[in-house]
Amino acid sequence: MRQLLRAVIFGILGYLIGATLTWLVRGGSLGDEVCVVFGYVVGLVGWLFGIGMGDTWVREWFGLPARESDVTGWKRYLGFSTDHKVIGVQYLATFIVVLLLGGVAAMIIRFELAQAGEGILNADRYNQVMSMHGILMVAVAVAAILGSFGNYLVPIMIGADDMAFPRLNAVTFWLIPPVAIGLLAAPTLGSFDAGWTAYPPLSVVNNGGQILFVLAVTTFGLSSILGGLNVITTIVTMRAPGMTWGRLPIFVWAAFAASMISLLTTQFFAASLVLIAMDRVAGTVFFDGGAGGDPLLYQHLFWFYSHPAVYVMVLPGFGLVLETITHMSRKPLFAYKAVVVSLLTIAGLSVIVWAHHMFTSGMAEYLHGPFMFATEMISVPTGVIFLSAMATLWRGKLWMKTPLFFAMIWIFQFLMGGVTGIFLADVVTDVSLHDSYFVVAHFHYTIMGGMIFAFLTGIFFWFPKITGRMINDRLGIIFALWLTIGFQLTFLPQFWLGTNGMNRRIADYPDQLEGANLFSSISAFFLGGSFLLLIYILLSAARRGPKAGDNPWNASTLEWQVSSPPPEHNFSGQPTVVGHPYGYGTADSRHAEFAGMTAVGLAEPEQAGTGEGGDNE
Amino acid sequence: MAMTTTPEAVHSRAEATYRPAANRLGLWLFLASETFLFSAFISSRFVVSGTDQPEHLNQGLALLLTLLLLWSSISAFRAEAAMAHDNRRLFHREMLTTIVLGALFLVGVGVEFNEALTDFPANTIYGSSFFMLIGLHAFHVLTGILALGVVWNLGRLGHYGSDNHWPVEGVVKYWHFVDLMWVAIYPTLYLFGGS
Amino acid sequence: MDQDRRNDWIWFGSLWAIFSAIGFYLVLGIDLLPAQWAHEAEIVDDAYILLMGLSIPIFAGVAAALLTSLLRFRVQVDDIPTEDGPPVHNNRNFVRLWVASTLILALMITVNPGFIGIAELRGEPSADIVVEVQAQRWSWKVNYENGAETFNQLYLPADRRVRFDITSLDLVHSFWIPGFRVKIDAVPGRVTYLYVTPEGVGSFEDDFNLRVQCAEICGLGHAQMAMPVTVLSPADFDAWVTDLAEGA
């Protein structure tokens, strides 16, 4: 609490100092964008210093001993904690709140679109709400799974006691609040209204809120890069003895592939936003067509990150879903090696497909074919993921609890997103469908279907581990069905709207499209209502759910072999990994043994190195 | 496996085994990521203005700046080697040399910017790339100087030794990286194309 | 045991057939696409329907597998599960078959409607008439070859190949005619091209998709940045465009 208060004060002071100094040096007014930029940067430094960097790193830089936080109990969650489990929960709570905020924006959007003509919002307000919805949800999609489950599960799953860089991890999380504040403060300068993609020249000439968008999202990118760096280093250097690459739980592989993308390509997004900031405040002309600049430069830089970002969103989702499926159907993960190869192939291919977002941008036509080809190729490794999920279910012993429900619905949702993606990857159909509501429906199926549904799968599956309490399963299944039905009813009509002439990002549309829009809006409110049930389920389970025990699903991976919630350094002894993580159906299979600790539910050790055994028939 | 262990003991033993590898990998990953940032800006320069160059480019100053940075990389290397052999005096001297060379580089950039403001201001397309790339690099040099200063001070206070000088190694690697980026930026702005 | 396994596949096969049939009926039986007003619209719609036709069995297959699993493989668990499924870690031949078939399918659609469709849609780079379009927040200005100029009105001749030379004065806009199924961005500092051959005589009053709609967000007036398209018979068009040029 003390840290948080100090951080807020230092942040505000920093902002004022930065803005005032700039104002003193160059004149003009305090609200000028240059003052905002310097104010934000100094404020960010002040915030980080106040929250805990001042007590730790900065003191060590001057040769003083670090002052570690001695806060215990729930207050740890409000301060600079270096415990990866605390940080995971911080991410989880933060992004559930951001998800709900974005959801409120979505409800406003659908309310406006329920009828043609101007409703509660004028066109300006609509663009602002739509942009806010977009960027909040993209932030959720990029960081929610990797931040929460990546932090919480990866170290335990590989038998480590924390992340490789615990302090950096804390900084990574504490970079997020300034992002939220920056975005939500944008209306004070006139909101940003260029969508989450922020294409220039619009984003160079629009209201001052865009500069806060640029600053906040760049900060978010920094957090994403540092998070990816930490996850990769942790996985490479901190695996427990015996935890070979072939024995990593699949979620760890997924987090590894996603972190790789996020570490490297996020820089391009940062670069594109910095160029916009420069065009706005420093008078450069990168995107000014009249002065020799090129708006397409931004689109290339932007999509070089933002297409791979889709895989930063969904690859960890693949991991969570496949974990849940293999544990809950009590069968080894089908074709483990092929899935790993697929995850890495997707990560590799993701950086050579970006221009499929630009088939109608006026980019050179000889580029269309190669990018279409590369994009279609991604369906092959993605297909292997689907194969693995379905073949693991096939003839398993399906324990139809809420997590497995969500995982199976995920397969359906993401397939829908994937198949409609083919229409957009194909140049011919994309020329018609690009920037229409078909695209809107498509990416809601991929991102909400592929990422949020996986996120919910993860929440329902690991909730007992994180809180030590069980979720009401009946309510969980009702929620799953409610959400899924609402989702189909909301977004299926939008495919039709797209093919029938409704474009994206509009507050008003031709009267002839009113029926389908009204239907979609009513369904959207139905869909939105389901999240109230989710909040109730989570809060009631956290407060008075039945005790979960260490391993309520009787699952095999390491996080289920420790108490719920896990103890401070995760393991009371050093775990040694001796076999495949998903040895279901093999009587003497075991994943790990513990020094100084009797492990739960593990039988005789098997011969080393036969984790990959057991072929079909 | 019969030894009695506490979580803290396991924790510190594990820490000792992975820490050096984790530090090194973390730094290399960070540098890989930074490479992408620089390549984004360098490719932007070629996208918006090909290899066009303005008439007035201060080639002499640019060459001088390049030599300053290359020299500072050598002195940084010597500082690291000195610490690895517990030669505090040499470390002290070479570290200071590096910092001074870095500061001179920044002064040179200031002179360069001043000339550029009249010859090709930021509202020309070459000027945009020029200020962006040089500015980005100068910012990295500045952070490098600050980091060198911190490490130099801690080394002076006796915090490091031959078996315990990761921060020296890390900051010197970062300095080499900044130097390397200049080696990419210099031809991008000054050598390719030309009038 | 063997009978049991066979029944799984019978369930799966039946569900697949049923879902595919329903899917084909829904998608191909009901006309989901708006009226075609250009030659290009036919190419795009053909590609769309081909892709739909290919995706239905895939979709039905996954749905059938999920439903079969849900109906046949679920177990009742009292406290914690004790029974495991068969220890099948892999089936190399099946994975190879799967990868090969998805690869072939992906290559197939890359060729057709992919490359073949692109070639058809682009056609020869020759045009009967050239129309210049200039976008500016939030309106369109149209110039015809003989100097005629319209503002927020687009008139085109039927059955003649038109080339649009499109540019923008301020922001990125996008020139989209839903009835023609074609679109290209209007980018400041560049001229982008679009070829289209209108078919049939009609106007915005006949079909609201005969309009040029800006499809790239451009601020306040983005939704309203549209102009009606009128397709005239070639003779009517020639008369109209001559009148306009002389009147101007």
Q: A339 with A333: CB under 8 angstroms? A: yes
Give the DSSP per-residue string, A490-512: HHHHHHHHHHTT-BSS-S---GG
> What's the domain range around B65?
58-191
Would you call C102 an interface residue with chain A, using a CB distance cutoff of 8 Å? yes
Count Cα atoms within 13 angstroms, Cβ side, for A614. 24
Query: How many separate domains does chain B show?
Result: 1
Q: Which residue, A19, A47, A80, sits at the end of a domain?
A: A80
Residues of A in contact with B159 (CB under 8 A): 63
Nearest to A291 among B1, B8, B125 (CB): B125
Nearest to A202 among C44, C81, C171 (CB): C171
pLDDT at position C1 = 57
The subunits that touch chain C, with at least 3 C-beta pairs less than 8 Å apart, are A
Would you call A554 an interface residue with chain B, using a CB distance cutoff of 8 Å? no
Contact A232 B29 (CB under 8 A): yes
> What pLDDT digit, counting tens, does each position of A519-528 carry?
999 999 999 9
Please report the ipTM that was assigned to this predicted complex: 0.95
State the nearest Cα–Cα gap between C120 and chain A, in angstroms.
9
Residues 476-505 of A with CB under 8 A from B: none
Say how far apart CA B148 and CA C204 lie, in whole Å.
69
The one-letter code for the residue type at B137 is: H
Q: Which one, of A553, A412, A390, lies nearest residue A481 by Cα?
A: A412
pLDDT at position A79 = 87
Contact C209 A500 (CB under 8 A): yes
Handedness of CA A172, A174, A175, A177 (dihedral sign): positive
Does a structural domain hold residue A587? no
Q: Which residues of A211-228 are buried (b: 16+ CB within 10 A; e: fewer)?
A: bbbbbbbbbbbbbbbbbb
Nearest to B26 among A164, A283, A567 (CB): A164
The subunits that touch chain B, with at least 3 C-beta pairs less than 8 Å apart, are A
Does a structural domain hold residue A615? no
- A617 contact partners, CB below 8 Å, separation of at least 6: none
pLDDT at position B2 = 40
How many CB atoms are closer than 10 A to CB A353?
24
Nearest to B30 among A229, A271, A567 (CB): A229
Chunked mean pLDDT (size 10), chain A, 617 residues: 89 93 86 90 94 88 84 85 92 94 94 88 90 94 93 93 92 94 90 91 90 94 95 94 92 96 94 94 89 90 93 94 94 94 95 93 90 94 95 92 94 93 93 94 94 95 93 94 95 93 91 93 95 95 90 90 87 86 85 63 38 35
What is the domain-level CATH number for residue A465? 1.20.210.10
Does a structural domain hold residue A406? yes
Query: How many separate domains does chain A show?
Result: 2
Residues 27-86 of A with CB under 8 A from B: 61-63
Q: Do A112 and A16 share a domain, yes or no?
A: no
Say how far apart CA A424 and CA A296 lie, in whole Å.
19
Say how far apart CA B123 and CA A469 lie, in whole Å.
61
Contact A395 C83 (CB under 8 A): no
Does a structural domain hold residue B102? yes
3-state DSSP assignment of residue A268: helix
pLDDT at position A307 = 93
Contact A427 C208 (CB under 8 A): no
Say how far apart CA A87 and CA A173 lie, in whole Å.
7
State the nearest Cα–Cα gap between C38 and chain A, in angstroms.
12
Indicate the DSSP class of residue B187.
Answer: I
Contact C87 A332 (CB under 8 A): yes
Q: A321 with A407: CB under 8 angstroms? A: yes
Would you call A294 an interface residue with chain C, using a CB distance cutoff of 8 Å? yes
CATH code matching the domain that covers C129-247, chosen among 2.60.40.420, 3.30.950.10, 3.40.50.970, 1.10.260.40: 2.60.40.420
Show the tokens assigned to A575.
């775990």
Would you call A225 an interface residue with chain B, using a CB distance cutoff of 8 Å? yes
Residues of C in contact with A297 (CB under 8 A): none
Residues of A in contact with C209 (CB under 8 A): 500-501
Tell me the pLDDT of chain C averaged across its residues: 91
Say how far apart CA A176 and CA A179 lie, in whole Å.
5
Q: Do A349 and A428 share a domain, yes or no?
A: yes
> What's the domain range around A138?
81-544
Q: Which residue, A30, A57, A80, sits at the end of a domain?
A: A80
Q: C130 with C145: CB under 8 angstroms? A: yes
Nearest to A275 among B1, B5, B44 (CB): B44
Residues of A in contact with C217 (CB under 8 A): 127, 193-195, 199, 202, 504-505
Residues of B in contact with A282 (CB under 8 A): 122, 131
Does a structural domain hold residue B49? no
Domain limits of chain C? 2-72+92-122, 129-247
Residues of B in contact with A283 (CB under 8 A): 121-123
Q: A223 with A143: CB under 8 angstroms? A: yes
- B51 contact partners, CB below 8 Å, separation of at least 6: B192, B193, B194
Taking CA atoms, what residue in A is nearest to B46?
A: A297
Residues of B in contact with A284 (CB under 8 A): 122-123, 127-128, 131-132
pLDDT at position A55 = 87
Q: What is the largest CA-CA distance in chain C?
A: 89
State the nearest Cα–Cα gap between A592 and chain B, in angstroms.
14
pLDDT > 80? residue C18? yes
pLDDT band at B57 (very low <50, low <70, confident <90, very high): confident
Show the tokens assigned to A183.
């975005």
Mean pLDDT of C61-76: 93
Q: Which residue, A52, A80, A108, sits at the end of a domain?
A: A80
State the nearest Cα–Cα gap between B156 and chain A, in angstroms.
10
Outline where chain B has alpha helix (H). 7-49, 59-84, 88-119, 125-156, 166-186
Show the tokens assigned to A429.
């159909």
Angle at which helices A176-185 and A209-237 cross, to 10°? 160
What is the domain-level CATH number for residue B138? 1.20.120.80
Does a structural domain hold residue B149? yes
Decide which of C18 and A52 is more confident.
C18
Q: A272 with A301: CB under 8 angstroms? A: yes
> What pLDDT digit, counting tens, does each position of B81-122 carry?
999 999 999 999 999 999 999 999 999 999 999 988 888 888
Residues of A in contact with C48 (CB under 8 A): 423, 429, 432, 499
Mean pLDDT of C17-25: 94
> What pLDDT digit, counting tens, does each position of C118-158 carry?
999 888 888 899 999 999 998 999 999 988 999 999 999 99
Would you call C136 an interface residue with chain A, using a CB distance cutoff of 8 Å? no
pLDDT band at B77 (very low <50, low <70, confident <90, very high): very high
Q: Do A259 and A244 share a domain, yes or no?
A: yes
Contact A390 C62 (CB under 8 A): yes
pLDDT at position A604 = 35
Is A in contact with B (3 or more beta carbon pairs below 8 Å)? Answer: yes
Does a structural domain hold residue A47? yes
